[in-house]
Amino acid sequence: MPHKIAGNYPSPYGDEPKDAMVGNFARKPAYHFGWDWRPRYVTAGVWRGIDLQGWGDNRLTDLAVRTDALDASRARLTVQVQVQQQAAGSVPLQVEVFDPEGRRVFQRRQPSQLVAGSSTVEVPAQLERPRRWWPAGEGAQDRYTVKVSLADGEDAAHRLQQRIGLRTVELRREQDDKGGQGFAFVINGVPVFAKGANVIPFDAFPARVDAARLRQVLTAARDANMNMVRNWGGGYYEEDAFFDIADELGLMVWQDFMFGGGMQPGYDPAFRANVAAEARDNVRRLRHHPSIVLWSGNNEEETAWKDWGHARDLKAADPVFAAKVWQGYVDLFGHDLRAVAAEDGLGVPYWSSSPSNDLDTKANDSTRGDNHYWEVWGNPALSVQAYLRETPRFKSEYGLQGWPSLATIEQAATAAEQRIDSPVIRAHQKFMAGEGNTRLLHYIEMAYGTPRDFGDFVYLSQVMQAEGIALAALHHRASRPYTMGSLYWQLNDVWPGASWSSVDYYGRWKALHYAARRFFAPVTLAALRDEGRTRVRLLNDGALPLQARWRLQVMDLDGKVVSRREQSVTLAAAGVTDVGTYNDAELLGHADAARTVAVFELLQDGKVSARQVAGFVEAKDQPLHRDALRVRLESSGDHYQLRLDSTALVRAAWIDFGTLDVQLDDNLLDLLPGETRTIAVRSSADLASLQHALSVRTLNDR
Could you write out the DSSP letters of every residue in 594-605?
GGEEEEEEEEET
Q: Which SS3 state, helix, strand or coil, does residue 96 take? A: strand
Helix (H) or strand (E) run with residue 311 in it: helix 310-317
| CA separation for the pair 420, 438 (Å, rounded) | 9
Report H helices in 155-225: 211-223
| CA separation for the pair 474, 479 (Å, rounded) | 8
pLDDT of residue 661: 93
Cis, bond preceding 100 (omega within 30 deg of 0): no
Dihedral of CA atoms 578, 584, 590, 596 in degrees, nearest 10, equals: 90
pLDDT of residue 9: 44
| CA separation for the pair 125, 148 (Å, rounded) | 13
Q: Which SS3 state, helix, strand or coil, does residue 149 take? A: strand
pLDDT of residue 177: 87
Are 608 and 635 spatial neighbours (Cβ–Cβ below 8 Å)?
A: no
| CA separation for the pair 193, 535 (Å, rounded) | 20
Helix (H) or strand (E) run with residue 690 in it: helix 687-693
**Strand runs (DSSP E) across 605-700, as ranges?**
607-615, 629-636, 639-646, 650-656, 662-664, 669-671, 676-683, 695-697
Residues of the chain with pLDDT under 50: 1-4, 6-10, 12-13
Residue 185 half-sphere exposure toward CB, CA atoms < 13 A: 32
Pairing outcome for strands 607-615 and 629-636: unpaired
Q: Which residues of 238-271 are buried (b: 16+ CB within 10 A; e: fewer)?
A: beebbbbbbbbbbbbbbbbbbbbbbbbbbbbeeb
| CA separation for the pair 107, 94 (Å, rounded) | 7
**Strand runs (DSSP E) across 219-262, as ranges?**
228-231, 252-256
pLDDT of residue 321: 92
Q: Which residues of 425-454 are buried (b: 16+ CB within 10 A; e: fewer)?
A: bbebbbbeebebbebbbebbeebbbebeeb
pLDDT of residue 34: 86
Rg of the chain (C-alpha set): 27
Are 143 and 165 spatial neighbours (Cβ–Cβ below 8 Å)?
A: yes
- What are the φ and ψ backbone dihedral angles of 294, each rounded to 5 degrees? -160, 135
Are 557 and 625 spatial neighbours (Cβ–Cβ below 8 Å)?
A: yes
- Give the rounded distance of the alpha carbon of 285 from its chain centre: 22
Measured from the Cβ of residue 685, the count of other Cβ atoms closer than 10 Å reads 17
| CA separation for the pair 457, 193 (Å, rounded) | 35
> Which domains, and CATH codes, for the chain?
58-156+158-165 (2.60.40.10), 193-520 (3.20.20.80), 523-621 (2.60.40.10), 629-697 (2.60.40.10)
Residue 505 half-sphere exposure toward CB, CA atoms < 13 A: 22
State the first-to-last Cα distance of the chain, in angstroms, to the nearest integer. 56
318 burial via Cβ count (<10 Å: 0-12, 13-18, 19+): middle
Pairing outcome for strands 695-697 and 650-656: antiparallel
Q: What is the DSSP letter of 143?
A: -
pTM: 0.96
